[in-house]
A and B are shown apart, each in its own frame.
Chain A
Amino acid sequence: MTTDENILVLKGIAKRFGDKVALEHVDLQVRRGEVHVLCGENGAGKSTLMNILVGIHSPDGGQIILDGKGVTIADPLIASALGIGMVHQHFTLVPSMSVAENLFLGRHIRRYGIFSDRRAMNERARELIDNYKFALDPEARVSTLSVGQRQRVEILKALAFEAKLLILDEPTAVLTPPEVDELLKVIASLRERGRTVVFITHKLREVKAVSDRVTVLRQGRSISTHITTDVSEEDIARDMVGRDVFLTGREGQPERSFGGAVLELDNVTITNSAGRLILDSIDLEVRAGEVLGIAGVDGNGQTELAEAIAGLMPIQAGSIRLAGDDITADTVAERQAAGLGFVPEDRLDRGLSSDMSIAENMAATNYERYGVLRKGYVDRGRLNAFTEDGIKRFDIRGAKPKIPVGTLSGGNMQKVVLAREFARDPKVLLISQPTRGLDIGASEFVYSQVLSAADKGNGVLLISSELSEIFALSDRIAVIYSGRIMQVLERNEADEETVGILMNGGKRQVA
């Protein structure tokens, strides 16, 4: 054991993939027992740096000093022998196996040296789970777990190797806000147990909530390291993006005026097959030029509300009107033709077909409108021109019409969805969780697009579980809880506390 205060020091780490410079020069010092946040825009090189630490990539230059000694980490086994554990950005669990089986994957506890000892593994798993106070059932199949629970299994898996340095690569990107809060608590408790945690995120709120120090990476370089309490969110954002950023939207701007109703929901009700009410008599109205934000904790009916309006889920009662016409019985395509734009909450689920080309994804709802079809055939020239235009207007990086959309980063994929839906200049834009998993630069862009749609006189229904997003963009705020609209507030009468209480089902206190 050394008494060096730094558990890990990186000096001048560099890494190239072919011609692409992923890391140019990174210095990093992680103190023993701290929570160190590494933040930076997508593509800054965070994952690459951490993959070097766990032996997945080997660096082209620079030094790794662990516990005061220079080390070479040639493969993941060496990394775990050195006590470095990592939870990857993408899940590595086997869905068809139980929690315990996953924890002991590749190192099953055996009886007589042959048979897997299921009971012993379940017991060991339970000890581990109880030790960290994770609410998990060791015998549950991973496929039945929520995303947040799966992540806890991943963390346990990394810890089961007795890792003294735990790396979490963007663990919150896939989590809902309550799950994020849970995770932040887990991280804090790991610190209490003396573990060192390197936590990657680009969400400023999380940086502030949990870290001791924060290092910013930009384009493969380490830009700055600060003690978290000494630095403002604005400063971190500026270091990440390289310029001042504006995520304030309309906050502080004067009242706006609106036209007539373009989207009206009247008594919209959905019950599931078990008879439980999912949406309970929803009445809503979005006016021309207005952004109506739906605030709420995930899972309170937002998904169903969006699907009902988009025409993807039947409603049991009520009616939906778009620009005055009843669209309750219309198909998805008919609603789109009538002027509905739909940006789904999960771009990889409903938003895009990741194996198909950018061009085909962007054209999917626009074939007729842009003359892409000629005499029934797809005119490749026009398809490309249409796509190139979208790529340019939405600044979609690394995009060419013919490459599969799945090769883009999350933010650029989201821009493909926006480009497709905005191409129709929809009278009503239904947009769900528009910046989930996006970095600051991309979020800023999405905000400006949403606001400009409203400025053009279109109505926007924004569904988001990020309160800051709701407040930045909305003219009015409706709070959904347990399938009901608790209240609709004007922007100037809404504050985070009131909305927060309503989001948890509380009554609004009348002063």
Chain B
Amino acid sequence: MRSDFTDFLRAVRGPLGAIALTMALGFLLVASISDEPVLAYRELLFANFDSLSNFALFLNRATPLVLIAVGITFAFRAGVFNVGGEGQLFAGAIATTVFSIVFSGLPAIVLFPLAIAAGILGGALLGWIPGVLKVRLGVDEVVVTFMLNTIALLFTSYLVNQVIRDTTAYGAVSWMVPEKIWLPTIPGIPGATSGFIIAAVLSLASWVVLFRTKWGAEVRAAGTNLRYAEAVGIAAGGRVIWAMLIAGGFAGLAGALYVLGIGHRFEQNFSPEYGLVALTCALLARIHPAAALFTSLYYAMMLNGAAYMQISTEVPRSLVDLLTGLLVLLMTARFTLRRRSGQTSGAF
């Protein structure tokens, strides 16, 4: 167990260093454009913790990121470059919404799990399509997942505008889902969805599944060398498809939990590109589900913090995009340095 912990430390040491360096460089940048760099940075980093309500918003922002990012680690570990998080998220959100509205008469105890399941299935379906196409026909998954994003966005837009639109509300939003199946908030933190707890638990569970089970080893074998996986008797294609079902399912669950816990309806513009941001989170976490929990929290902090910063100071929120770019650069630089010296972190 001790060595597990040191492994974990070793895995997070690099990303933490890169984050620290990014923040330091970012501070120099802010200092050069703003008279109040300390205030700006304080807002960026700590405004999230100023009040319970800010903290709740922070957790709500993190929840979909964590789930999608963890899902993506399954896909990447299976060798599928899944950029379809956004589409899978939308599929999950719309499936949960439609199901909840159509079957709103069912008792909560039945409707709640089915609504969640609908979201998971919606996302999983969008993960399954590129998975099967890749395994059976060798179709490039990047193209397919990318196209499915557009399809999901347009299709949900059609549904929310034409079919389930709340005609009493302003903007492209659906009818509310029945209040009886709303997710409770986290006790003591008003407004914070308990979906976050689910996401955090699933992130740790995914670590165990990917790195402590034979199934996880088989997924990673298929992802790192498909021909090897076949030769040691792994049904490699099946593993890849399952990993994509899980990736889609996680993103679908993110959509479901957003609808039931945060939005309480489908809103066409509910996602500030969660799918794309989660992709970055997963990569920064070096495709490790537990580390993805932390990178997602970091991103949620930055996304919300940037808004507070912009309100209090002159510094534009797009600073965050710049910091993101810098961070990605530093992480990749670190990657190649390690590769040069001949060691990679293959196993933990």
Question: Counting CB contacts under 8 A, is B179 at the interface?
Answer: no
Question: Counting CB contacts under 8 A, is B346 at the interface?
Answer: yes
Pick the contact of A351 from B224, B228, B348 — CB < 8 Å? B228
> B342 — which chain A residues lie within 8 A by C-beta?
407
Chain B min CB distance to A72 (Å): 24
Chain B min CB distance to A47 (Å): 14
Question: Counting CB contacts under 8 A, is B347 at the interface?
Answer: yes
Q: Total A-B pairs in contact (CB under 8 Å)?
A: 91
Asked if B213 and A377 sit within 8 Å, CB to CB, the answer is: yes
A350 and B228 in contact (CB under 8 A), knowing A355-B344, A357-B346?
yes
A404 and B228 in contact (CB under 8 A), knowing A377-B213, A378-B217?
no
Question: Counting CB contacts under 8 A, is B225 at the interface?
Answer: yes
Q: Which residue of B lies closest to A367 (CB)?
A: B214
Pick the contact of B347 from A333, A359, A367, A420 — CB < 8 Å? A359
Question: Counting CB contacts under 8 A, is A508 at the interface?
Answer: no
Bound together, the chains give a CA A363 to CA B235 distance in angstroms of: 16
Interface string of A347-371 (1 = CB under 8 A from B): 0011111111101100111010000
Question: Counting CB contacts under 8 A, is A336 at the interface?
Answer: yes
Bound together, the chains give a CA A306 to CA B208 distance in angstroms of: 36
> B346 — which chain A residues lie within 8 A by C-beta?
355-357, 403-406
Cβ < 8 Å to A, chain B residues 219-256: 220-221, 224-225, 227-235
> A354 — which chain B residues lie within 8 A by C-beta?
224-225
Chain B min CB distance to A399 (Å): 13
Interface string of B204-215 (1 = CB under 8 A from A): 000010001110
Interface string of A25-36 (1 = CB under 8 A from B): 000000000000
Bound together, the chains give a CA A400 to CA B120 distance in angstroms of: 40
> B3 — which chain A residues lie within 8 A by C-beta?
380
Cβ < 8 Å to A, chain B residues 88-114: none
Q: Secondary structure at chain A's binding surface: helix, strand, loop or mixed?
A: mixed
Cβ < 8 Å to A, chain B residues 315-348: 342-344, 346-348
Q: Which residue of A lies closest to B1 (CB)?
A: A380
Asked if A402 and B347 sit within 8 Å, CB to CB, the answer is: yes
> A404 — which chain B residues lie within 8 A by C-beta?
343-344, 346-347
Cβ < 8 Å to B, chain A residues 363-400: 363-365, 367, 373, 376-378, 380
Asked if A356 and B221 sit within 8 Å, CB to CB, the answer is: yes
Asked if B231 and A344 sit within 8 Å, CB to CB, the answer is: yes
Bound together, the chains give a CA A486 to CA B214 distance in angstroms of: 44
Asked if B224 and A353 sit within 8 Å, CB to CB, the answer is: yes
Q: Which residue of B lies closest to A404 (CB)?
A: B346
Chain B min CB distance to A343 (Å): 10
Asked if A356 and B233 sit within 8 Å, CB to CB, the answer is: no
Question: Counting CB contacts under 8 A, is B4 at the interface?
Answer: yes
Interface string of A80-109 (1 = CB under 8 A from B): 000000000000000000000000000000
Asked if B347 and A357 sit within 8 Å, CB to CB, the answer is: yes
Bound together, the chains give a CA A420 to CA B233 distance in angstroms of: 13
Asked if B233 and A380 sit within 8 Å, CB to CB, the answer is: no
Asked if A377 and B228 sit within 8 Å, CB to CB, the answer is: no
Bound together, the chains give a CA A355 to CA B234 distance in angstroms of: 17
Cβ < 8 Å to A, chain B residues 8-55: none
> B230 — which chain A residues lie within 8 A by C-beta?
312, 332, 350
> A199 — which chain B residues lie within 8 A by C-beta?
none
> B212 — which chain A residues lie within 8 A by C-beta?
377-378, 380
Question: Counting CB contacts under 8 A, is A310 at the interface?
Answer: yes
Q: Which residue of B lies closest to A358 (CB)?
A: B347
Asked if B213 and A365 sit within 8 Å, CB to CB, the answer is: no
Chain B min CB distance to A234 (Å): 35
Pick the contact of A364 from B217, B235, B347, B348 — CB < 8 Å? B217
User: Can you list 17 pairs linking A and B with CB atoms under 8 Å apart?
Assistant: A332-B231, A335-B233, A344-B231, A349-B225, A350-B231, A351-B228, A353-B228, A353-B229, A356-B220, A357-B346, A376-B213, A380-B4, A403-B346, A404-B343, A406-B346, A407-B342, A420-B232
**Extra 9 A-B pairs, beta carbons < 8 Å, given A332-B231, A403-B347, A405-B346:** A312-B230, A333-B233, A333-B235, A352-B225, A355-B225, A357-B346, A364-B232, A376-B214, A403-B346
Which A residues form the contact surface with B (CB < 8 A)?
Answer: 310, 312, 331-333, 335-336, 342, 344, 349-357, 359-360, 363-365, 367, 373, 376-378, 380, 402-407, 420
Which B residues form the contact surface with A (CB < 8 A)?
Answer: 3-4, 7, 208, 212-214, 217, 220-221, 224-225, 227-235, 342-344, 346-348
